[in-house]
Amino acid sequence: MAPRVWYNCGMRRTAASAAVLLCLAAALHAAGAEPPPPCSLQDARLMYNQAMLLLEDDRNSNVAEVPALLETAAPVYPRAAELLLKVYEGRKKGLPAEPQKAYDLALSMASLRPQQDPVAEEIRLHAMYSLACYHEKGYGWGKDDAEAKARSLQQAFRWMKKAADAGYDTAAAELGRYYMAGTGTAADTRKAWEILFRTARRAPRTPKVYLYLGTMCACGLHPQAGTRAKADPAAAVRLFHTGALYGDAGCMNNLGVMLERGIGTRRDVRAAAALYRRAAALGNKEASTNMQRLVFKYDDHAPRAGTPPAERINNALLCVIDALPVQEHHRSALRRLLLIPTEHAPRTPR
């Protein structure tokens, strides 16, 4: 999931937001947390800031008190509720995932009626999106239980459609993918294209919308293909390029693949390598793999048959280390593990 920023510190405590806070307290209780003592909004903000400092300080390894801080602050301060959901999802350092608590918290938040307060409404819509992701990724069904899996995917589609219909652009992009792939519903590529195209025009920075549109063009699933699948690689290149300009790592990787192979555009291995490096730095695993393969295989567009294997492996690993989204001292520690010391390691020109 790609969470967005929904809250602002200066929000006014309206009647609508008060109702949301009560529901958050009920959600925490349903998730198994002990009912925390009431605290003021100022105290809740301090608890939230303390939790953030504990999580973001690399020198600190003791984050055991973070869940308790957030569980106390969440009923009063929505930012704390957002962060608590991430903690329950296991997306914060040193804290194990607690899927049941995350599901219960998101379900209680998503079950609210539409709110007048935009902050409260964003909380509700993101909770719906989160529930859809939980169901799609396997909440409540085993790998060998086909019937339970089908029911869970139907629930994923239901929650994603509710969030998309209410105006949540990230959910609209994923709903288009659901229709494209037939996830939890019958496949309908025309409806998928309409949803994705409308979302791209309304909110062009929506994550993955150009990735899915480009994929449909590359696979011949766009409306212009007619009854017979007819790929349009040139259109796919244009869409992936637009998504890459907006910072989508998946579009960068796919555009790199098409440049490397010369599909729908002129072949350009150097540009492909640059795109792989950018996408890998954003955490795209496929781009990291593609970058390793490309650096290992090529040197300025020429096969590196005469280069010693250790040097080729070293160059590939250096590029991977440079692309990792970690701090520089962590990169330095990884470089010390290379086959050839970095001060003597030849580098492939970028």
Radius of gyration of the chain from its Cα atoms, rounded to whole angstroms: 23
The tokens describing 290, both together, are 């593609």
The tokens describing 25, both together, are 């307290």
Q: What is the DSSP letter of 228?
A: S
> How many CA atoms within 13 Å lie on the side-chain side of 68?
4
> Is 227:211 a contact under the CB 8 Å cutoff?
no
Residues for the chain: how many in total? 350
What is the pLDDT, as a whole number, of residue 204?
A: 92
Sign of CA dihedral 18, 19, 21, 22: positive
The tokens describing 42, both together, are 């100022």
What is the pLDDT, as a whole number, of residue 17?
A: 46
> Is 153:137 a contact under the CB 8 Å cutoff?
no
pLDDT in tens, the chain (350 residues): 333 323 333 333 444 444 445 455 555 555 555 555 568 888 988 999 999 998 888 777 788 899 999 999 888 887 888 889 999 998 887 888 899 999 998 998 888 788 787 887 888 899 999 999 999 988 766 666 788 888 899 999 999 999 999 999 999 999 999 999 999 999 999 999 999 999 999 999 999 999 999 999 998 887 765 555 578 899 999 999 999 999 999 999 999 999 999 999 999 998 999 999 999 889 899 998 888 888 777 654 444 445 566 666 666 677 767 666 666 666 777 777 765 554 444 444 34
What is the pLDDT, as a whole number, of residue 36?
A: 52
Coarse DSSP helix, strand, coil percentages of the chain, rounded to the nearest 5 percent: 65, 0, 35
In this structure, which amino acid lies at residue 155?
Answer: Q
CB atoms closer than 10 angstroms to residue 336: 8
What is the pLDDT, as a whole number, of residue 312?
A: 66
d(CA 179, CA 185): 7
d(CA 215, CA 221): 8
Query: Which of 294, 288, 277, 299 lies closest to 347 in space, CA to CA?
Result: 299
What is the pLDDT, as a whole number, of residue 142?
A: 60
Which residues, other chains included, contact 112 with Cβ-Cβ below 8 Å and sequence gap of 6+? Answer: 19, 20, 23, 120, 124
Burial class (CB in 10 A: 0-12, 13-18, 19+), 62: exposed
